[in-house]
Amino acid sequence: MKQESHVKREGFSSSIGVIAAVLGSAVGLGNIWKFPYVTGANGGAAFILVYLLCLALVGLPVMLSEHLIGRNTKSNAVGAFKKIEPRRPWFLVGGAGVLSAFLIMAFYTCVAGWVYAYIFKSASGVLLTNKPQETTQVFNSLVSGVGEPLFWQVVVLLLTGAIIMAGVTKGIERVTKVLMPLLFILLIVIDVRSLSLPGAAAGLSFLFKPDFSKITVSAVLAALGLAFFKLSVGMGAMITYGSYVDKSENLPKMAVKVALSDTLVSLMAGIAIFPAVFAFGFKPDAGPKLLFIIIPTVFNSMPLGRIFMVLFFILTAIAATGAMLSLLEVPIAYLTEQYQWSRRNATLLTILGIGLIGSTATLSNSILSKVLIFGKTFFDFYDFATSNVLLPLGGIFIALFVGWQWGYANVKREMTNEGQLANEGLFQVYRVLVRYLVPIAVAIVLLAGLNVIHF
Ligand code: PFF
């Protein structure tokens, strides 16, 4: 086999392992928590269509670009740009990615903490009710506390840190390979139950019958941001993971597989949630708490609901953990490779930093709720600044880098595995996307969504 001898660098061990890890990064709270609530807040089906368009035309080419850069350089997000173009400051794109990883982790660990807490709450039975007020009450009392949500956030950080420190690939590859299919099966079970609730049809039409009057400029920016966040692109996580991928992998094929499976999981989460939203008289635009107040009602109305609910939150916690590993790996690969830190020290410093910033996100539902940055709480600010600003910006520069800086022949060589893959046509389409469509379209949506330009 074309096995290279990487002296120090670990790599994924098999094609299945690569898919599991990359999909493990993509699938996470983004599918189960964020996709439903952002879709709910932006009017449903029409938003989903815009989202799918962003995913195919922007998210996918950026993901492929990152994999190409990573695999070619076998470097972390900063080092990769330095290797290809040492004389120009492209490495700043990787630097911004490291920053994004911190900011995403700040609110991601907060929500993951809620999920961990919900494993125990569902086991205890307090969530088994079909009264919206009661599930809302349980959620509010969790997030508006101080000690409890902080405790869970720390648990999340320590656990994720421990897995990372142990060396990612063996543990996470093995775990995700088994548990991802399990999450999938459980989602099917919940979907069936949710769909058979009386009044479920309204939820389905919300999900699948587009009403284009709901599409505003800020909804388009939200869809674009969600596409970046979902696929873990625009910040170097996929450069980092790409750097662990073997030369023989078919990268375009892999990116398509990952994007399709990821989308399927999101849609299934939508089908789990929206029929219940309408059946139980909730509003679809409840925001970040949507998952936490709706899902219990579905389980409550199903036999063995308590057991299934515990299982559901365990699997969600695992999906979130897989995604967090890739987020953590960005600063850790950077610190260990650029500054020769030990993996242990890099991990400890990183989780400490995330813990400090992350506590402001967690407390923004309680004692820091009055502190606003650009009119947003810390939690909302980190979320908005990353998904809707930093990731799209990163995406623009990554596309520009591959499209205009790296060189036609170099990109082609990497994408065709040194000419072994016959994907010339695909390469030409990809090239047009990264040279023109991605940078121009993302720039327009970004500027319009941020109100810098008006239509
Ligand atoms: N894709 C993850 C999700 O949808 O939950 C979130 C994420 C992971 C974003 C890793 C960025 C990243 F680097």
DSSP secondary structure string, 24-76?
A: HHHSSHIIIIIHHHHHHHTTSHHHHHHHHHHIIIIIHHHHHHHHHHHHHHT--
* Nearest ligand 1 atom, CA 323: 8
What residues pair up with 373 in beta bridges, in sequence order?
376
Ligand 1 centroid to Cα of residue 11, in Å, is: 20
pLDDT in tens, 245-287: 989 999 999 999 999 999 999 999 999 999 988 988 888 998 8
Phi, psi (deg, nearest 5) at residue 373: -115, 125
DSSP 373: B
The H or E element spanning position 391 is helix 391-400
Angle, in degrees to the nearest 10, between helices 408-415 and 424-432: 130
Name the strand (E) or helix (H) holding 229.
helix 217-230
* The predicted structure's pLDDT at residue 27: 94
Of 23, 263, 327, the residue with max ligand 1 atoms within 8 A of its CB, to mutate for a pocket test, comes to 327
Amino acid at 357: I
- Structural domains of the chain in order of their starting residue, each with its CATH number: 15-449 (1.10.4160.10)
CA of 323 to the centre of ligand 1 (A): 5
CA distance 231 to 234: 9
First to last CA, the chain: 55
246 SS3 class = coil
Q: Tally the residues of the chain.
A: 455
Task: Give the distance (Å) from ligand 1 centre to CA of residue 100.
Answer: 11
Six token digits for residue 55: 């995913």
CB atoms under 10 Å from CB of 408, counted, come to 11
Give, for ligand 1, the residue of 22, 25, 231, 328 to mutate: max count of ligand atoms closer than 8 Å to Cβ.
25
Q: What one-character-per-residue DSSP string does 277-330 give?
A: HHHTT--TT-GGGHHHHHHHHHHHTSTTHHHHHHHHHHHHHHHHHHHHHHHHHH
What pLDDT, on a 0 to 100 scale, did the predictor assign at position 5? Answer: 40
Q: For residue 39, which of 295, 290, 234 has the smallest C-alpha distance?
A: 290
- Condensed to tens digits (0 to 9), the pLDDT of residues 186-221 reads 899 889 988 988 888 999 999 999 999 989 998 999
Q: What are phi and psi of 196, to 5 degrees?
A: -95, 5
d(CA 414, CA 412): 5
Q: How high is the pLDDT of residue 297?
A: 85
Q: Could you tell which of 39, 107, 229 is best to mutate to test the pocket of ligand 1, judged by most ligand atoms within 8 Å of the CB? A: 229
List Cα–Cα distances, 355 to 28, 161, 168, in angstroms.
20, 11, 20
Q: Which helix (H) or strand (E) holds 148?
A: helix 147-165
Q: Are 240 and 330 spatial neighbours (Cβ–Cβ below 8 Å)? A: yes
Q: For the chain, what is the radius of gyration of the CA atoms?
A: 21
- In 3D space, the residue among 149, 86, 159, 80 whose CA is nearest the CA of residue 121 turns out to be 149
The answer to whether the beta carbons of residues 195 and 268 sit under 8 Å apart is: no
Report the atom number in ligand 1 closest to the C-alpha of 35. 4
The low-confidence residues of the chain, meaning pLDDT below 50, are 1-7
